[in-house]
Amino acid sequence: MKAIGYLVLSVLIIGLSCLWSGYALSILWGWFVVGTFGLSQLTINSAIGLSLLVSYMTQPYDNKKNDRSPEEALMHVACKGVVKPAVALGLGWLVRLFA
């Protein structure tokens, strides 16, 4: 039963991470790509799709044995899903201050 809970929580975390990443990408795209290259603004849906596509094509598959407990693995996924887009937005905001 505990495994089903981890599975449901993982799917929820991944879904929320996709939304957060898509939002971050759409903001960064608007800040740096729209004005620079004259391209259209990305919707959050398009940004999520683009993010998934790029991740699919660029992230290598890690088949090493992982010694993390299920709780640690969930926390890692959650932190990565929250922190990575937040850092990108924060750094992008700082870059915009100097533009």
pTM to 2 decimal places:
0.85
DSSP string, 41-81: PPPHHHHHHHHHHHHHHHSPP--S-----HHHHHHHHHHHH
Give pLDDT, residue 91: 95
Task: State how far the Cα of 88 lies from the Cα of 81, in Å rounded to an integer.
Answer: 12
Q: What is the pLDDT of residues 28-87, one digit of tens each?
A: 999 999 999 999 999 999 999 999 999 888 987 776 667 888 888 889 889 989 999 999
CA–CA gap between residue 28 and residue 83 (Å, rounded): 15
- Planar angle of CA 67, 71, 75, nearest 5 degrees: 100
- Of 11, 79, 78, 17, nearest to 48 by C-alpha is 17
User: Could you tell me the pLDDT band of residue 90, with boundaries at 50, 70 and 90?
Assistant: very high
